[in-house]
Amino acid sequence: MKRRLRFIIIGFSLSFAIVAALSFYSLKQFSTYSDYSNQIDHTNRIITDLYTIESSVKDIDIMERGYMLTKDSSFITDVYKLIPATFPAIDNLKTLTTDNPTQQQTLTLLKSAYLLRAANFKDNLQYLNTISSDTNRISKYFYEGRKLKNECLGYIRKMMDTENALLQNRFKNKEYYQRITDNTLKYLITIFGIITIILFIFMITELMKRKQSQDELQLKLVDLKRSHAELEQIAFAASHDLQEPLRKVRILTDRLAWIKKGEENSESLDITRRINHSVGRMQDLIDDVVNLVELIKEESPKEVVDLNIVLTNVLAELNDKIRGKNTIIHRGVLPSEVSGYPRQFHLLFRELLENALKFSRPDVQPTVSILSDKVNGVELAHQNKELAEKSFYRITISDNGIGFDNKFIEKMFQIFQRLHNKDSDYEGKGMGLAICQRVVVNHEGYITAHGHTSVGATFKLFFPVEM
């Protein structure tokens, strides 16, 4: 599942990276394309203003000739309107060509020539109004005007040639980047579409696999419920049907022992005692199995539990064993408000304390300490890194008993697993720590163990502060 999820994440990341790169590249090309479009508009505005000035120069010449031939004053009026109207175009050109020093220089010459032509027009007009007929003098004046006109048109043509060359080059660049932008968008859409289709197919496949897994899980859940029901039946049988024959065996052996009590060194009396002892162990083992099964199927609501009260009750229950071994108990203040099952907490403390008493060293006075504090989950980080940031109630139960080798820690918490053989002086059923682990799991907690042979053992219980 993690591998598939990693593949999906990598696929989406790769798709996003490719789309982002192509989008960035496309935006860059579009920006360049937009720049060239603006430059083309800029050049067209310059050419338009040049045409305006060219038209003005030609119109001055035409109107001058018209007045000379007809003496119609309307020509003069039109010229006086035309000349001021041309200067905004010249000023606009000065602004538009700031990025081109050559054009600025040519424009300066054009403006000077245009001003001279306008002044020449006024001189010609004044001369025409003061003489009657001197054709040679008139021709000379008008020759100067024609010369200035051609000079203006020459400057205009030079600027237009430059702008037309720029226009052609910019238009080619615009077409080139427009083509690149279009192709990039096509590639972008194509690649994104292909990746999307691949990921879509993969997700559909994963959904089908997940549905299949859910169906299989549902079947296993049905089997699990069936097995659970069978387990409950076994537990019921263990708590009723199996206990009854054992009780009868014990009654009969007790009766037989009473009959044989007057006989000394009676073999039958010894056998009877052994039977009673084995029956007692069998009953204890059945009780532990029933307890474990009931822990698995716990369905009652949780309560707010004071662990101090629970521990006090457990110590009272084990008082005879504690006094019998002259055990020293050190107890601290435990959490007083923990959400859980009181009966399960009772089982937990009883099993751990019974272990401490059972596996004590014969030549050392047993000492058991039960302490509590509030910590984070750093000690549990090896199981899950996220636990290091959570808060837990840590209950530490330590003793000075025979201890154990830490290589058997995993085995200790398994059902029917004992660290000592049946001929050992230490009797164990192999169920106590399995019950402890189940109780801790039912409370969303954790249990750890650490021991030293012939030194003692320490069990740490971790319960979440917020359960």
Supply the CATH number for residue 334's domain.
Answer: 3.30.565.10
Contacts of 459 (CB under 8 A, 6+ apart): 352, 396, 397, 398, 436, 447, 448, 449
Domain range holding 21?
2-204
- Whole-angstrom Cα distance, residue 435 to residue 417? 12
The count of C-alpha atoms lying within 13 angstroms of the C-alpha of 133, restricted to the half-sphere facing its C-beta, is 0
Are residue 160 and residue 186 in the same domain, yes or no? yes
Question: What are the C-alpha distances in Å from 448 to residues 100, 115, 281, 431, 443?
Answer: 83, 102, 28, 16, 15
Are residue 382 and residue 331 in the same domain, yes or no? yes
Does residue 188 lie in a domain region? yes
* Partners of 457 in beta bridges: 399, 451
Are residue 319 and residue 293 in the same domain, yes or no? no
Does residue 22 lie in a domain region? yes
Question: What are the C-alpha distances in Å from 320 to residues 28, 314, 331?
Answer: 87, 11, 18
Ordered per-residue pLDDT tens for the chain, 467 residues: 566 667 667 767 777 777 777 777 777 777 776 777 788 888 888 888 888 888 888 888 888 888 777 787 888 888 888 888 888 888 888 888 888 888 889 888 988 888 888 888 887 777 776 655 455 555 555 677 788 888 888 988 998 888 888 888 878 877 777 777 777 777 777 877 787 788 788 778 878 888 888 888 888 888 877 776 776 676 666 666 666 777 777 777 777 777 766 665 567 667 777 777 777 777 767 776 666 666 666 567 888 999 999 999 999 999 999 999 999 999 999 999 998 989 889 989 998 998 889 888 888 899 999 999 999 988 888 888 888 889 999 999 999 988 888 887 777 777 666 655 555 555 656 677 888 888 898 888 999 999 888 888 999 999 998 75
Total domains in the chain come to 3
Are residue 95 and residue 19 in the same domain, yes or no? yes
Are residue 12 and residue 29 in the same domain, yes or no? yes
Does residue 30 lie in a domain region? yes
Are residue 139 and residue 266 in the same domain, yes or no? no
Are residue 279 and residue 324 in the same domain, yes or no? no
Question: Of 297, 314, 341, which residue constitutes the final position of a domain?
Answer: 297
- Exposed e or buried b for every residue in 407-436, given b needs 16+ CB within 10 A? eeeeebbeeeebbeeeeeeeebbbbbbbbb
**Strand duo 391-399 + 367-376: pairing:** antiparallel
Does residue 223 lie in a domain region? no
CA angle centred on 446, ends 441 and 451, rounded to 5°: 125
